[in-house]
Amino acid sequence: MAITTDDIKALRGETGVSVMQIKKALEEAGGDRAKALVLLQKKGAMIAEKKADRTLGAGAVSAYIHSTKMIGSMVMLSCETDFVAKNEEFLKLAYAVAMQVAATNPDYLSRADIPAGALAEADRILLEQSFIKDEGKTVKDLIDAAVQKFGERIEIGRFIRFSTR
């Protein structure tokens, strides 16, 4: 199947990754957008794993306050450089994670944070939760996609949720 510029534009709009990565994924998937998207997500996870030992020297704190003013949250999203930390897409990601925390009230960031002997369901672990704006993705998928897009290690440093109840 021939790869069209419309296919490339559509995937670029959906993922934000480079045109060359999208073109390679489409070629590998035989022009199938859905398969190419899966390939890009897998590649994003592999890239995130490779960058896991890099130093995080920058980041942003984002807050979300619900319209009722009864629930709020704050998230610290860390990255390697201030160039990425000031990027509008990075700041939108931080805000989306803050909204996720306000909506789902997670107890843990990852399985590694769960005390020995305690079990927690995936819905109590922030990185394993389905993203509230796209149930087909987890919060970890969003972070991995950002790592692929920006080419830097990105991780959630801390989060907190406030409620008047």
Read off the pTM.
0.75
Question: H or E stretch including 152?
Answer: none
Q: Residue 116: which CATH number?
A: 3.30.479.20
Judge if 70 and 96 occupy the same domain.
yes
- Please state the domain count of the chain: 2
First CA to last CA distance, the chain: 56
Judge if 22 and 64 occupy the same domain.
no
Residue with structure tokens 């939760």? 129
Q: Residue 17: which CATH number?
A: 1.10.8.10
Judge if 45 and 17 occupy the same domain.
yes
Judge if 151 and 97 occupy the same domain.
yes
Collapsing DSSP to helix, strand or coil, 136 comes out as strand
Judge if 22 and 100 occupy the same domain.
no
Contact 12, 41 (CB under 8 A): no
* Rg of the chain in Å (alpha carbons): 17
Range of the domain at 126: 58-163
Residue with structure tokens 């993705």? 137
Judge if 142 and 91 occupy the same domain.
yes
Collapsing DSSP to helix, strand or coil, 72 comes out as strand
Per-residue pLDDT tens digits for 60-101: 999 999 999 999 999 999 999 999 999 999 999 999 999 999
What pLDDT was estimated at residue 120? 66
Contact 92, 62 (CB under 8 A): no
Judge if 28 and 108 occupy the same domain.
no
Question: How far is it, in rounded angstroms, from Cα 64 to Cα 25?
Answer: 35
Collapsing DSSP to helix, strand or coil, 87 comes out as coil
Q: CB count, 10 Å around CB of 95?
A: 16
pLDDT beneath 70, residues of the chain: 1, 120, 122
What pLDDT was estimated at residue 61? 98
Judge if 16 and 86 occupy the same domain.
no
Pairing of strands 130-131, 155-163: unpaired
